Amino acid sequence: MKRQAKTHAWHHQHVNDFYVRQSVEQGWRSRAAFKLMEIDDKDRLFKPGQTVVDLGCAPGGWCQVAVQRLKGQGRIVGVDLLEMVGIGGVTFIQGDFTEDAVLAELEAAGIDAGVDLVLSDMAPNISGVDSADQARSYYLAELALDFAGRHLKPDGAFLIKVFQGSGFEDYVRQLRAVFGSVAVRKPKASRDRSREVYLLAKGLIVRD
């Protein structure tokens, strides 16, 4: 009964959430679109002509923002294990971005010349066990960092959602070993009670 009550309370809050209502009214596929737009308004991530890769892109809210902000000038590739309804201007690849076959598809889609912006709003399937969910979350984050380190241009940027708590400081240290600049962003569209924050890394450290 307690879990059922908690689920009911979450559903009630979700459907009455300002950003959920706005996303429906404005045609965004997720409230997460507002988070990315707010970060971009501050940090100017998108520039026409860029190559952008969105890891864990379904249902497509961030891809929609990328399409809008690139204004038809650039290349956007989204990757997810889940299906995603197509978006004009976005190449969608369904699969695991760490697998060779999917990486080959990504390269065929035009990332072989380097990526300007890697986005990751990935989250694991939630088990309800906080320690296990946090560990899975940072496992995905480490995979995303490895991808960014391998494919970003030296002046590219990496934006990723993580959760504060166990593993956070270690992950920030990993980022700082790869990038010259790491900043924390907590957009207004993130719920106050949520431990999620976004890490924005720039200045890829190129080693021989």
What pLDDT, in 10s, does the model give residues 108-133? 998 988 999 999 998 877 777 888 88
Whole-number Å distance between alpha carbons of 165 and 67:
33
Q: Rounded to the nearest 10 degrees, how much is the dihedral formed by the CA atoms of 155, 156, 162, 167?
A: -50
Q: Rounded to the nearest 10 degrees, how much is the dihedral formed by the CA atoms of 86, 89, 92, 98?
A: -150
Residues with a catalytic annotation lie at: 161
- What pLDDT score does 12 carry? 41
What pLDDT, in 10s, does the model give residues 161-186? 999 999 999 999 999 999 999 999 99
Residue pair 88/23 in contact by the 8 Å Cβ criterion? no
Whether 28 has a binding-site annotation, put simply, is no
Whether 96 has a binding-site annotation, put simply, is yes
Domain 30-204 has CATH 3.40.50.150: yes
- What pLDDT score does 167 carry? 93
Provide the residue ranges of all domains of the chain, joining segments of one domain with +: 30-204
41-64: average pLDDT: 97
Using the predicted structure, report yes or no on whether residue 1 has a pLDDT greater than 60.
no
Lookup: tokens for 124? 């694991």
Whether 60 has a binding-site annotation, put simply, is yes
Residue pair 53/79 in contact by the 8 Å Cβ criterion? yes
